[in-house]
Amino acid sequence: MEPLKKSARTGKEKQQKIFQAPKGMHDILGQDALLFDDLRSVAGAFADSYGYQYIELPVLEDRELFVRSVGVGTDIVDKEMYVVRTQGGDALALRPEFTAGIVRAYIQNGMQNLPQPVKAWTFGPAFRHDNPQAGRYRQFWQADFEFFGADHPIADAEVIQFAVKLSEGFGIPDVCVYINTIGCAECRGQYRKALKAYYRSKSRKLCSDCKRRLKTNPLRLLDCKNETCVMIRKNAPETLEYLCKDCSDHFRKVLGFLDDAKIGYFLDPYLVRGLDYYNRTVFELKSGNQRRQESAETDGFEQNAPAREPLSFGGGGRYDYLMKLLGGQDTPAVGFALGVDRMVDLAREERAKAFKTGPNVYLVQIGDAARMQALRLIEELRTHGIAARFDLSRDSLKAQLRNADREQSAYALIIGQKEVLDNAVILRDMQTGIQESVLMHKLLETLAARLKQKHKTR
Ligand code: HAM
């Protein structure tokens, strides 16, 4: 039942609806909001150094764009898209991911005429009408990176190295790469046949979704999370056994480059990813800490088969056919997306330390004349890069000093009537309680020196 509240204002029995965020969607507040912002900055800095340019995309795209690229028979297209009918009768979808939109933008904006390769990245919310649970939301954020115009296996290795280094740079503990290859259009045909033959013999035991997948999109049988289907998967044919020579060489080289770059990985023969546009290399990222924790709760830690698989915080792969499929020129591509919500969950403890004790100052004022001084001072501090906290509506010295304490401010700057007359400020070290009077024209210089000293001794 929806929570109801009586209206206190009218005193009548009128009942008000208490609004909640839609199911599976959440507000991002306080420290998490800082961490989201922080991840965006870290991603931006890494994107700069690896040569990715930022692009911003519409939240809505033609529904058909995702049907064609992500594919019929995938959970995203069959069950999870938020489809909107416009007044004009168009069917649009809230983006369930970014790759299709970036490819659409590449074609529409003639990016094939730019010097190749082209690298683009973006950051924002995506939407999937999934079953909400821990780490799985209906609105979630992704940082997405796409690399167009390079078919060499070094591009796959570069993208994986980039994904790992960025994740480590944000503080994800013990980043693990899970990798596989799903071959090309030719060798995948053989694999699909073998997969169908295997699953047909077990079809009575499959879940209803997999019975349908067996007919429409057999590769998606390997994505199923149903317990019985996961058990059946254990003896299914592996993609590696069906690769053509070119795909096999490509994969061997990718692994060789990763070895050279000292990027560790687990070979996962059943990793096929839940989207249809991939060919050859596919990969996912998980945190080893999380993996060990979850395994310890169940059956112990095995190298290649953890008892209960944790959610991956990132994933990607090669998709050489998508550009042509969407009407562009044949262009090889490889990319990945990081799940921002999941990364913030994983790195919260480590990353949050950075926000705990930034030396800042708290402005305390007593009386209207001091308030005027304070207002001027806030701007002066800001232009000199000093973060000030304040609550100018308060009068009580005690309450303001309590706030300074809560904010973990390094110094309180106290302006009372006497200070206004003397054109001075009391500088109080919040840790030691020692106070000194500083003339206003000396304040910035004194404060900068004191804050520098604090930084050194932290
Ligand atoms: P994806 O594996 O569907 O790939 O999503 C990438 C990441 O987004 C996941 O690893 C996860 O961290 C996060 N994510 C996905 N769904 C949810 C959800 N419901 N709640 C919270 N987080 C979620 C793609 O989207 C591809 N477009 C990646 C790619 C880019 N491939 C090539 N280029």
Q: How far is CA 31 from CA 34, 353, 354, 455, in A?
A: 5, 11, 11, 22
pLDDT in tens, 74-131: 999 999 999 999 999 999 999 999 999 999 999 999 999 999 999 999 999 999 999 9
pLDDT at position 356 is 58
- How long, in residues, is the chain? 458
End-to-end Cα separation, the chain, in angstroms: 52
Interatomic CA distance for residues 327 and 333, integer angstroms? 15
Å from CA of 144 to ligand 1 middle: 9
CA-nearest of 243, 244, 362, 227 to 307 is: 227
CA-nearest of 269, 282, 273 to 239 is: 269
Domain layout of the chain by residue ranges: 30-184+244-352, 360-457
Q: Is 327 left (phi over 0), alpha (psi -120 to 50) or beta?
A: left
Continuous segment of H or E residues that includes residue 438: strand 435-439
What is the residue-wise DSSP string for 378-402? HHHHHHTT--EEE-TT---HHHHHH
Residue 189 tokens read as 């045909």
Secondary structure letter of residue 220 according to DSSP: G
- Cβ–Cβ < 8 Å for 156, 254: yes
Å from CA of 312 to ligand 1 middle: 8
Secondary structure letter of residue 136 according to DSSP: B
Domains 30-184+244-352 and 360-457 equal at CATH topology level: no
**φ, ψ of residue 180 in degrees (nearest 5):** -155, 170
- Minimum-distance ligand 1 atom for the alpha carbon of 313: 12
Secondary structure letter of residue 21 according to DSSP: P
pLDDT at position 350 is 80
The architecture of the domain spanning 360-457 is 3-Layer(aba) Sandwich (3.40)
Interatomic CA distance for residues 282 and 178, integer angstroms? 8
**Average pLDDT of each block of 10 consecutive residues along the chain (458 residues)?**
49 78 96 93 96 98 98 92 97 98 98 96 97 95 98 98 97 95 94 93 92 90 91 94 97 98 95 95 89 45 48 97 98 98 92 66 95 93 89 93 92 96 96 95 93 71
Mutate to test the pocket of ligand 1, among 140, 148, 320, 334 (most ligand atoms within 8 A of CB): 140
Å from CA of 452 to ligand 1 middle: 42
pLDDT at position 248 is 97
Protein residue with its CA nearest to atom 10 in ligand 1: 314
Å from CA of 305 to ligand 1 middle: 22
Mutate to test the pocket of ligand 1, among 142, 225, 272 (most ligand atoms within 8 A of CB): 142
Three-state DSSP at 313 gives coil
pLDDT at position 12 is 54
CA atoms within 13 A on the CB side of 92: 14
Å from CA of 434 to ligand 1 middle: 52
Report the pocket of ligand 1 as residue ranges, CB < 6 Å. 97-99, 128, 130, 135-137, 140, 142, 144, 146, 275, 312-317, 335-337, 339, 341-342
Alpha helices in 30-86 (DSSP H): 30-50, 63-70, 75
Determine the distance from the C-alpha atom of residue 325 to the mean position of all C-alpha atoms in its chain, rounded to a whole number. Answer: 28
Protein residue with its CA nearest to atom 2 in ligand 1: 315
- CATH for 30-184+244-352 is 3.30.930.10
- Cβ–Cβ < 8 Å for 347, 35: yes
